[in-house]
Amino acid sequence: MGVQIDVHGLAKSFGRQNIWQDVSLTLPAGELSVLLGPSGTGKSVFLKCLVGLLRPEHGRIMVDGVDVCRCTEAERYELRKLFGVLFQDGALFGSMTVYDNVAFPLREHTRKTEAEIRRVVADKMELVGLAGAGHKLPAEISGGMRKRAGLARALVLDPEIILCDEPDSGLDPVRTAYLSQLLVDLNAQIDATILIVTHNISVARTVPDNLGMLYRRRLVGFGPREILLTSEEPVVAQFLGGHRHGPIGMSEEKDAVVAAAEGAWPRPLPELVPQLTPSPGLPVRRAIRRRQERVRLMLPTLPAATRRNVAATLDCARPGASR
């Protein structure tokens, strides 16, 4: 099962530029989570902090009992083995074949023989639908295939935590739908904790168990998907509705005069769409039951509308209930 990550009071700046502050959230073990936010709100910086590539000035990131922000280099090296990271552009080495790219972490971090490496690489390439493409160079495959090759590489060390930085960027809606399904299927197969950073509304509405959003240097919210997906908070409703009217402007924060001239921002909330389920033949996601137990305890604390939506998902998941 994946590992839980607890983030408390995190703050990160570059010089005088504060990126975000007071970010606290828990990524529950083995669940799928999505972190949304307009461009430039520091989503990638957050991922890099989680994996220890950037050091926040304040706060704690607890992974497996170790604080990523304060651990020794040796501890950080060990922790990194828990993580598989899919970077925005796939981050493949252009001069290596897809096969060698995927095999790279195994050759670097394990003592496996080439025969063993061949087996693992073939297995992961098959998992992401790239069997047969190993001999090609990254420049010879499509953007979607490069993403999947990056994902295969992120998986070869059997990570317990998978971080995906905008896996959908540069993909058409159909490829994005395939990739969303792939992430859900992967979770069903390996039960890893998965965090996806994106500004893709369709991914946010269909993939995660938990959803959060960064805006104006703060975490607007983070919790069971139904909370944000039914939120009437103007910034959340505008972002998920994908429209111009609302507090978010072209350069993140809208000019107060422009915002006032728009008047109120009442918009119908998009309908809550069902979460993706694993493809036929795959096991039921083990996270579902754990999440139900967790969310059931949260029910009394949720707003009435959210409570109804969450309760409905708990009801339809009861044994014998029709789905």
Ligand X SMILES: Nc1ncnc2c1ncn2[C@@H]1O[C@H](COP(=O)(O)OP(=O)(O)OP(=O)(O)O)[C@@H](O)[C@H]1O
Nearer to ligand X, 19 or 85 (CB): 19
Shortest Cβ 14–ligand X spacing (Å): 4
Shortest Cβ 40–ligand X spacing (Å): 5
Residue type, 31: E
Shortest Cβ 164–ligand X spacing (Å): 12
d(CA 68, CA 56): 10
H/E/C letters for each residue in the chain? CCCCEEEEEEEEEECCEEEEEEEEEEECCCCEEEEECCCCCCHHHHHHHHCCCCCCCEEEEEECCEECCCCCHHHHHHHHCCEEEECCCCCCCCCCCHHHHHHHHHHHHCCCCHHHHHHHHHHHHHHCCCCCCCCCCHHHCCHHHHHHHHHHHHHCCCCCEEEEECCCCCCCHHHHHHHHHHHHHHHHHHCCEEEEECCCHHHHHHCCCEEEEEECCEEEEEEEHHHHHCCCCHHHHHHHHCCCCCCEECCEECCHHHHHHCCCCCCCCCCCCCCCCCCCCCCCCCHHHHHHHHHHHHHHHCCHHHHHHHHHHHHHCCCCCCC
The sign one gets for the Cα dihedral 162, 153, 43, 36 is: negative
Nearer to ligand X, 7 or 29 (CB): 7
d(CA 267, CA 164): 31
Nearer to ligand X, 105 or 208 (CB): 208
Q: Does 275 bind ligand X (CB under 6 A)?
A: no
Nearer to ligand X, 29 or 47 (CB): 47
Shortest Cβ 36–ligand X spacing (Å): 9
d(CA 79, CA 68): 8
Nearer to ligand X, 91 or 311 (CB): 91
Shortest Cβ 194–ligand X spacing (Å): 17
Shortest Cβ 286–ligand X spacing (Å): 30
Nearer to ligand X, 18 or 142 (CB): 18
Contact map string, positions 114 to 143, toward ligand X, x by CB under 6 A: ------------------------------
Q: Which of 19, 141, 203, 237 binds ligand X (CB under 6 A)?
A: 19
Shortest Cβ 166–ligand X spacing (Å): 6
Q: What does the block give as tokens for 319?
A: 């044994």
Q: Does 14 bind ligand X (CB under 6 A)?
A: yes
Contact map string, positions 29 to 48, toward ligand X, x by CB under 6 A: --------x-xxxxxxx---
Nearer to ligand X, 47 or 157 (CB): 47
Contact map string, positions 178 to 217, toward ligand X, x by CB under 6 A: ---------------------x------------------
Nearer to ligand X, 45 or 85 (CB): 45
Tell me which residues in 51-90 interact with ligand X (CB under 6 A).
none
Shortest Cβ 294–ligand X spacing (Å): 27
Tell me which residues in 214-233 interact with ligand X (CB under 6 A).
none
Enumerate binding residues for ligand X (CB under 6 A). Answer: 14, 19, 37, 39-45, 199
